[in-house]
């Protein structure tokens, strides 16, 4: 299993700076959406995934490679949380020469993770660790 690091501000910045692998960045969102890897069956379990996500994505999507999945993720962020990148991280955005799909999709993942954390009312803890299947 590949361990997922704690959801800290430093980690979120590392995702924005493309210092964290796509697997880990995606895995944090998959975890939040309810996808769970069953190492016994070697399959994704979707019992905790919302029906609209489960229907469109029976297996977790690669948000960094899939524009439709990222659009759906963006639309799932409540309007009141759309500015969390600025409000909580002080992220000022990318420069014009940095505006490429890979980076903007990573920013969407981070904004979704901030919204997810805020919705749960969770404090950032350094001992929270989850896992993903090994590649």
Task: Give the model's pLDDT for residue 129.
Answer: 35
Instruction: Please report, for the domain that includes residue 50, its CATH number.
Output: 1.10.418.90
Q: Does residue 80 lie within any of the structural domains?
A: yes
pLDDT for the residue numbered 15: 97
pTM comes to: 0.86
Which of 72, 90, 77 shows the shortest CA–CA distance to 16? 90
- Say whether pLDDT at 123 is over 90: no
Q: Is the pLDDT of residue 120 over 90?
A: no
The answer for 39, left when phi > 0, alpha when psi is -120 to 50, beta otherwise, is alpha
pLDDT at 1: 46
135 is a domain residue:
no
pLDDT of residue 122: 54
Q: Confidence band (pLDDT; 50, 70, 90) for 2?
A: low
Model confidence pLDDT, tens digit, residues 19-62: 999 999 999 999 999 999 999 999 999 999 999 999 999 999 99
pLDDT at 3: 80
Number of domains, the chain: 1
- Within a domain: 134: no
Structural domain contains residue 24 = yes
Q: Is residue 130 part of a domain?
A: no
Q: Residues 57-98: pLDDT tens digits?
A: 999 999 999 999 999 999 999 999 999 999 999 999 999 988
Please say if the pLDDT value at position 125 is more than 80: no
Which residue range is the domain that position 43 belongs to?
8-124
pLDDT at 124 over 60: no
Name the nearest CA neighbour of 35 among 56, 9, 58, 18. Answer: 58
Q: Are 131 and 8 in contact (CB under 8 A)?
A: no
Chain-centre distance for alpha carbon 116: 9
Q: How far apart are CA 88 and CA 21, in angstroms?
A: 23
């Amino acid at each position: 299993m590949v361990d997922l690091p704690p959801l800290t501000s430093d980690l979120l910045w590392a995702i924005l700076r493309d210092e964290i692998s796509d697997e880990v960045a995606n895995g944090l969102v998959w975890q939040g959406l309810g996808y769970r890897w069953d190492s016994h069956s070697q399959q994704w379990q979707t019992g905790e995934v919302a029906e609209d996500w489960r229907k469109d994505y029976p297996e977790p999507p690669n948000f960094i490679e899939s524009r439709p999945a990222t659009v759906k993720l963006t639309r799932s962020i409540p309007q009141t949380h759309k500015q969390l990148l600025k409000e909580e991280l002080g992220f000022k955005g990318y420069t014009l020469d940095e505006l490429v799909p890979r980076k903007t999709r990573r920013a969407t993942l981070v904004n979704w993770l901030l919204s997810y954390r805020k919705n749960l009312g969770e404090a950032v803890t350094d001992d929270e660790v989850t896992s993903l299947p090994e590649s």
